[in-house]
Amino acid sequence: MSSYWSNWAGLVRLETLFQCFIFFTALLISEIYSPNTIFRVLRDVALLCVVLVFISLILSPSSNLSSFVAIYHHKNTTGQFLGLCTIILLFSKDVLRFKKIFILLSLSLLLLTNSTTSIIAFILAISAGYLTISITDSTRAWLHFTLSRVGYWALLFLFIQIYIFHIDILDFIYNNLSDEAITGRGILWKTMLYHAEEKIVMGFGYASVWWHDDYSEIYFTDLARTNLNWVEKLSGSDGGFVDVVLSLGLIGLFMFITFLYTILLNLLKMDDRNQRSILISLFCLITTFGITESIFLVPQNAFWFFLLLIFCMSIPIKNKNNYVC
């Protein structure tokens, strides 16, 4: 729909089609394969990633051990994938030889990245996973009932308040957010929010702001005029929720947060405790990453695919005998 008011209508439609392919791929995987099969594949991939990162560290002894990037392009990306691998290995119920050694190795490599955001997100995700295991079924049922009855109305009320006072909220951000805040993200967030102020309700349109090698909305900002070389290297604002506001506005942000809230409710409703704990832990990890990283609505991003896969796996299945394996 955003192609109707976007200056980049063709790009919006093309990227939306790509987005549909990614979503239906996640849906097919969740429908064809059982959760146990998916978790087993994820476990094997996690083991492979940990081994590759460790080998890259051994082969590059001259690299800075306090902040290494290994096989990825940035320490935050390395930390994110190692956090993901550690959670998958930690909550895996399969009896695996040397499992504890791999978990310890993955956790050690995560700490070596010195990625503060990845480490904090990992701690929050692990806490959420173990909290899910510890609560009783009666508590979980009461929590799901309460959140499903009250949560959506609370989100609607919050959205109305944000819509009414969005000018005051933006002024507060401009006046109080430091340019160097969150490792330099402050100037980027303020610049783009100021540029989008007149279209803050509906946004510029999906995929119309952050794309490599394409002439997008960021080139119309003061940031492009003062630091074009830096702008050309950007693929996002390093803020997933900020990107949603820029692309789809406050209306899109409300829909997206409602989508995340629906995933959480579906996960709380799952009967299998082990599956529920690992999916909630991964869900918390990805959403926490989304605060400081551009991962939402980006088809090429692995974490966005994981989030769509978690959503598809959280949908209740009436007949579990339909799985191929």
pLDDT in tens, 71-100: 666 777 888 888 999 999 988 877 667 788
Residue 206, pLDDT score: 87
Residue 158 is encoded by which pair of tokens? 């919050």
Nearest residue to 234 via CA among 268, 171, 187: 187
pLDDT in tens, 190-210: 888 887 888 888 888 888 777
- List for the chain the helix, strand, coil content (%; round to 5): 75, 0, 25
Cβ neighbours for 260, distance < 8 A, ≥ 6 positions apart: 287
What is the mean predicted confidence (pLDDT) over 204-223? Answer: 72
What is the mean predicted confidence (pLDDT) over 262-271? Answer: 90
What is the mean predicted confidence (pLDDT) over 129-150? Answer: 87
CA distances, 59 to each of 42, 85, 106 (Å): 26, 21, 17
Using pLDDT thresholds of 50, 70 and 90, give the confidence band for residue 256: very high
CA 283 from centre of chain: 8
pLDDT in tens, 147-173: 888 999 999 999 999 999 988 888 888
CB atoms within 10 A of CB 206: 22
What is the mean predicted confidence (pLDDT) over 215-243? Answer: 72
Calpha distance 229→25 (Å, rounded): 36
Q: 282-310 b/e with 16+ CB inside 10 Å = b?
A: bbbbbbbbbbbbbbbbbbebebbbbbbbb
Yes or no: say if 239 and 185 are a contact pair by the CB < 8 Å rule.
Answer: yes
**Looking at the predicted structure, is the pLDDT value of residue 35 above 80?**
yes
Using pLDDT thresholds of 50, 70 and 90, give the confidence band for residue 319: low
Q: How much of the chain, in percent, has pLDDT values that exceed 70? A: 86
